[in-house]
């Protein structure tokens, strides 16, 4: 039964690849779809020698629009809900602790799309991100705490410009996507905030479905 299932999946994917390769005209059409997957995020350019971070996983998903300029070139704007952040461990007063920060964004990438093959799209472009909220979790032997901040009175940069690039594998209606991105500005507003200064960096994997 297991072998039969694997053979069926392999044949289905192979048929999708053949259809995608032969559907050359779809590269010149408008497409609308949804996508969902995960980010593996971390931070860089951290201010302070004691500030260390490890990557964490978060949700990513939303909608995308493929707007053709020609069969080989197009534009693809996307609207995504995207979770980033970091996690780490250390010691406080001789006691170990763990810390996780989750940042929730609305991401608006605008990609230039190059389509060398019907099955393959290469994407590159800027991304504007708006910070919705931040969730901090701190665990130690002294107890646990969780704080959610809306940043109404805190000088955190809520609008961030990033650079992004990626590839899409187009199997007719199903799209497998991979992205990488990094912030061009720190989170620390004009520098008066007490939060650690850093920039987000992430890789993203998604599966999408094209309605049109």
Q: Where are the domains of the chain?
A: 2-210
Instruction: List all residues 6 or more positions away from 79 whose beta carbon is below 8 Å from its beta carbon.
Output: 62, 63, 64, 106, 107, 108
Residue 196 φ/ψ, nearest 5 degrees? -60, 145
Span 92-99, mean pLDDT? Answer: 71
Q: What is the C-alpha separation between 192 and 197, in angstroms, rounded?
A: 10
Class of domain 2-210: mainly beta
Span 4-20, mean pLDDT? Answer: 52
pLDDT band, very low/low/confident/very high, at 130 (cuts 50, 70, 90): very high
Segment 45-83, tens digit of pLDDT: 766 545 578 899 999 999 999 999 998 999 999 999 999
pLDDT computed for residue 138 by the predictor? 78
pLDDT computed for residue 197 by the predictor? 75
pLDDT computed for residue 188 by the predictor? 72
Segment 178-201, tens digit of pLDDT: 999 999 988 776 655 556 678 899
Question: What contacts 24+ positions apart, CB below 8 Å, involve 189-193?
Answer: 189/155, 189/156, 189/157, 190/155, 192/155, 193/154, 193/155, 193/156
pLDDT band, very low/low/confident/very high, at 136 (cuts 50, 70, 90): confident
Residue 42 has pLDDT above 80, yes or no: yes
């Amino acid at each position: 039964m297991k072998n039969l299932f694997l053979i069926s999946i392999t044949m289905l994917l192979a048929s999708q690849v053949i259809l995608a390769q032969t559907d050359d005209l779809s590269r010149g059409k408008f497409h609308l779809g949804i996508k969902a997957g995960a980010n593996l995020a971390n931070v860089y350019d951290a201010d302070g020698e004691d500030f260390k971070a490890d990557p964490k996983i978060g949700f990513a998903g939303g909608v995308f629009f493929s707007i053709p300029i020609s069969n080989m070139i197009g534009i693809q704007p996307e609207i995504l809900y995207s979770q980033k952040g970091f996690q780490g461990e250390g010691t406080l007063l001789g006691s170990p602790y763990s810390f996780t920060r989750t940042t929730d964004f609305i991401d608006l990438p605008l990609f230039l799309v190059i389509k060398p093959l019907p099955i393959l799209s290469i994407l590159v472009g800027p991304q504007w991100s708006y910070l919705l909220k931040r969730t901090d979790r701190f665990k130690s032997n002294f107890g646990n705490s969780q704080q959610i901040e809306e940043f109404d009175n805190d000088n955190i940069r809520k609008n961030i410009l990033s650079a992004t690039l990626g590839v899409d594998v187009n199997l007719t209606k199903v799209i497998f996507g991979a992205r990488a991105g990094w912030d061009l500005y720190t989170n620390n507003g004009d520098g008066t905030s007490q939060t650690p200064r850093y920039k987000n960096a992430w890789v993203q994997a998604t599966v999408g479905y094209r309605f049109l």
